[in-house]
Structure 1
Amino acid sequence: MANSVGFLACCIVLLMSNAATGVLGTRNLDLKGSKDQLLDREVVPALVVFGDSTVDAGNNNYITTIVKADFAPYGKNFMGHVPTGRFTDGLLVTDYISLKLGIPLQLPYLSPAAHGESILTGVNFASSASGWFDNTATHFNVVGLTKQFEWFKSWKAEVLSLAGPKRGNFIISNALYAFSTGSNDWVNNYYINPPLMKKYTPQAYTTLLLGFVEQYTMELYSLGGRNIAILNLPPLGCLPAQITLHGHGNQTCVQSLNDVALGFNQQLPGVVDAMNKKTPGARLIILDIYNPIYNAWQDPQKFGFKYARVGCCGTGDLEVSVLCNRAVPACSNADEHIFFDSFHPTGHFYSQLADYMYSYAKPILLAPPNP
């Protein structure tokens, strides 16, 4: 029975990480932006997103998986209060960055609307519950990075066909590409997979994942990507579900989980620095999400939040995906919470994170690329 309970608990955590234009509502937003935003749009004409549920704009709506967020209370603060497949109440961090760039929000690649002019300002390939390691995506039949890259190649071909070689290549080489993934490789694969834990120590597994970071980044470079942002890992031990499952009754962050995230994050700059030396014309950027989340968790009031330990949905301890549904009451004001469900931040937190990331990345994108 104990094993069954443990397996169920793990499955609950695994459930994490209508795309027609009218349903999404995003194309109705005023995206003209300020003069500064329009200048940014000439520098960065498109945003292309790879990753997991932290940036999935709805691709999982179109595949056979239980890892979905296309139902209330997800989307409660989205335009029109429509659940779109985003694992939050409103906009994702990549949505806010799009608004700063003055470009429309990216449609999920699997949306029937993701063709024609709408894809010239980018597209979203992310699939919830995936990771750097394709093996992670197999647990819930979601789309790993290898398949996301196949989608990218099709998108690239369509852009060149629509815009012509000159404008198309400008879009491809000047777009901002973002990778936001990696948490599932640990909490939804390694720590629930005894054979994997037996095969790899945490240090060896970190090395494996960093190898995938290099593999996919260099592949993207070979396909024409030049402005590439890699988000590091969040403090895994501060996610509400991880505290519930692994905190042994304590209500503070689980240090052992934070340690594996820190181990990965501390080695990531060396990998990126090495790639920068062999990618002329590129700008490879690490965007930090660990410290913004950790600092807000440690002192919520300083950042305008009331609640860090629990999410807005249900008890906030474990609810995520199908367990965060219409039958589960959600808090009245998600902006008071760092997390919306037991794994994913609120739109309000994402807006702060986007401000932080954008202010860091903008001068790098305006500076000369690698020689």
Structure 2
Amino acid sequence: MELTGEQELIRNTVREFVENEVGTDVHEADKSQEFPEDIWDGLADLDLTGMTTPEEYGGLDVDTPTYSLVNEELAYGHLAVATALSVHCLATSCISQFGSEERKEEWLPDMVSGRPVGAFALSEPDAGSNPAEMTTEARPEGDEFVINGKKQWITNGERAGVVILFAKTDRDDPDSVTQFLVPKNVDGLEVGKKEDKLGLRASDTTTLIFDDVRIPAENRLTEVGEGLKSAFSILTGGRIAIASQAVGVAQAALDDSITYANDREQFGQPIIEHQAIGHKLADMQTDVQAARLLTRDAARKNDNGVDPKAAAMAKYFASETAVDVANEAVQIHGGYGYTKDFDVERYYRDAKITTIYEGTSEIQQKIIARHLKR
């Protein structure tokens, strides 16, 4: 699948940004668990924080294949940054697609500029893979909604200035899930525990606690009961972003392994000359390219109408490939791969999350199987 001239330009711009601006910062951010705000500001300077926002609000409004390319290139250098950006773009997409003109004008131009950062609050402590079981309630009261509940695994939870919230208007009615826009600075909204994670450590992942939070009725983004439908629609594109990120991590692990295998000598020759290592690299190269092509196909199809099966296939295969390739990268590096002196141990830790967030591999298999029924 050939890239257009504009897509090549954007890809090369992001690639250059990663090479020049990310650098060793990724190691310090991983160690400190602090998000690199200077890199975020650089993304905003490139207008990438407005990728999915219509041009009339200052955004780039790129197509899905271009969005996919940006995610792949960013994840190649810094998965935590790519994840934060993709979640921010989920939030801007929700406002763009479901918000009133007033909400769009109020929020999107500033979000395009990078601040406020957006968060997407769907999962709960007891409602992850099945969001219909959520218990967070946004009860209508006069010209307001009163929100009570808890959301978990929220990327940008600390950094966000605006939260796209999914809640039931009646806790006892499973068909009442609705989408809302909640400013982060409202009374009663508290940031809870920041998760201490295996990987993706620079990305802030927190709990959000809503205690009698009041928002005006006009902050309801969808019709009552249309929240899950809207979430699943948005998440189809989100899964393509995660697939793209998985490809980026896998490519980074592969490239480092090729370099190491050519440089490292054992038994009088570079280890790439040993069949066991050469065959590992051949399998890794094949799987990464297959994942990339599946992801690009899903991205292309998404612009011709939402295709949940294609997105699920891409996310499932690419994320599992990222884990497998990162695992082999550590093995090729031997003892060095188990140390923090080499990036492959971070790829190994980071890759796993791509099989979990925005729908586990098992959920993707379920979606694929559902579309095979006759």
The TM-score range, normalised by the shorter chain, is under 0.3
Structure number with greater Rg is 2
Q: Which is helix-richer, 1 or 2?
A: 2
Q: Which is strand-richer, 1 or 2?
A: 2
